[in-house]
Amino acid sequence: MNIRRPRRIRHGVIATLLLLQVTSLTAPAAAAAPSRREAIPAPSSTKWSRQDLKTKVDALVQPVMDSGYAVGYAIGLIQGKETLILGYGRTAKDSGRTPDGRTLFQVGSITKTFVGVQLADLARRNIVRVDDPIGMYLPEFVSVPEWGERKITLLDLATHRSGLPGLPADFLSSPSTTTLGGEYTMTQLLKWLSSYRLTRAPGERFEYSNVGIAILGHIVGNIQGKTWEQSCLDTICTPLGMKDTRTVLTPEQQSRLARGHRADLDPVPLEEIGVMGPGGSLISSVEDLSIYVRAHLALIDTPLRTAMDIAMAGHASAEPIGEMGLCWIRLIRPDTNVVFYVGDTFGYLAAVIFDLQKKTGVIVLGNQDSTVNQDLAFQLWALMDGRQVEPLKLRKAADVAADSLIPYTGTYLVERSDDQRKESTDKTATVALYGEGLKVLLPGQFRARLFRESEDRFFLKGVSDAVATVAFIRDDKGRVGAMSIFYNGQTRVLKKLR
């Protein structure tokens, strides 16, 4: 689930946050990076032996571990009826345990696919029609926004085409140390929905919406007289024997939970998702998700077969990513039949990719919130498809003495966008010493950690699929006078005040 507290990261990629705070650039919360489409190989008949496959996976994963971009991984590789599970690193920075198939991770937006399967199962049983208006299943006091005669349907929610935003405007205003959104309740969510005014017709275009999936999840549960979590357990997890997939853990399961970490590998506590639970709160393991994927690949006999087929079918466009199923994403390529989803929460990132035609799949669970996990997952999938894959090229931090970083510390002026110029006070960013590098604190208490690459040049760990660089600019006397933030081809310069 690509959402964060206001004082932390909000939309998944750390560098996107950095640019968002100093420009008017808008970066949508994405289920997965569209750029991955360029890396999709054509189908092949390659099937590795278990040892050969492990050797090739080791060659891709170990450089990530050695570069300091990851704490630990549990990885599942499916080739027909065979599943290879591998573990790397540690379950926590201070732990000596290596993740395995039963290690638990929060899986973020992979949770959404469970909501999609539940909806498909209700449709299969003729309890709902996916084109039913959502108002049919909400309390009478809720006035669902409309666009003329066009109503928001269950399908609109499941395909991120409802016209609803990523999150309610007031969702992140209720602070809590353990729950995202604080004490935000379902009643508040439904009142927000009643007050929201659409800016376009539902179904007009794709826009990733966590709040839309949250509403859909609660509808799915309410139709059956259950919470969405209980519906998920009864419909999917229990029938498939996925005993470790849930939101509330037993003490024994708690002992197998990997500790989450930021992209800079600082440890963080497990964060409950609260009312947005259907969008990202499930905890699972590679063993359980292997069952889930094999069921989708028709490698396991299950009454959910038809529901899963409905969920994976292309129901709407999600350009430029692909087609939307019911919460699953299908790649748009004539030579492949791939379904996938990626999810991240505060401390974890998970990826599930599988090929319906070749009966292969990749599951990557990492206990660090880093886009490197996503890159690695698509590398592994390309490997499974027979492509020659090189290890990720990751930047390494230079060894520096803390006192050499002092000239960069200070307060920098954030230039306001046109929409912000009506604000009465200037906003500033603060650069301070932090561990082996620097941290930058941006307006709204967002924080990103910087690592020195060379003199006056720094980078953000956890970003490998785009250039994300912070460079400090010196004046004619050699003093640091400004900070330049470059991300995805755009640059902003912040003047140093003191």
pLDDT tens digits for range 4-25? 333 232 333 333 334 434 432 2
| Separation between Cα atoms, residue 53 and residue 214, nearest integer Å | 38
| Residue 2 · residue 12 · CB < 8 Å | yes
DSSP string, 152-164: PBHHHHHTT-SS-
pLDDT band at 175 (very low <50, low <70, confident <90, very high): low
Q: How much is the pLDDT for 38?
A: 36
Q: Which position has the higher pLDDT, 359 or 273? A: 359
| Separation between Cα atoms, residue 141 and residue 190, nearest integer Å | 9
pLDDT band at 460 (very low <50, low <70, confident <90, very high): confident
Largest Cα separation within the chain, whole Å, is: 75
**Beta bridge partners of residue 91, listed in sequence order:** none
Write the pLDDT tens digit of every residue in 93-106. Answer: 999 899 999 999 99
| Residue 311 · residue 116 · CB < 8 Å | yes
Where does residue 190 fall: left (phi above 0), alpha (psi -120 to 50 degrees), or beta otherwise? alpha
- 30, pLDDT greater than 50: no
| Separation between Cα atoms, residue 3 and residue 345, nearest integer Å | 7
Q: What letter would DSSP give residue 24? A: -
pLDDT band at 218 (very low <50, low <70, confident <90, very high): very high
Q: How much is the pLDDT for 342?
A: 94
- 134, pLDDT greater than 90: yes
Residue in the structure block whose two tokens are 């520096």: 400
pLDDT band at 399 (very low <50, low <70, confident <90, very high): confident
Residue type, 207: E
Q: How much is the pLDDT for 23?
A: 38
pLDDT band at 425 (very low <50, low <70, confident <90, very high): low
Write the pLDDT tens digit of every residue in 275-311. Answer: 999 999 999 999 999 999 999 999 999 999 999 999 9
- Mean pLDDT of the 33-46 span: 40
Write the pLDDT tens digit of every residue in 76-93. Answer: 999 998 999 999 999 999
Q: How much is the pLDDT for 197?
A: 96
- 119, pLDDT greater than 60: yes
| Separation between Cα atoms, residue 387 and residue 12, nearest integer Å | 28
| Separation between Cα atoms, residue 35 and residue 310, nearest integer Å | 26
Q: What angle do CA 284, 242, 337 make, to 5 degrees?
A: 80
- 44, pLDDT greater than 80: no
Q: How much is the pLDDT for 462?
A: 61
- Mean pLDDT of the 233-247 span: 97
Q: How much is the pLDDT for 320?
A: 73
Closest by CA position to 483, among listed 474, 471, 491:
471
What percentage of the chain reaches a pLDDT higher than 70?
82
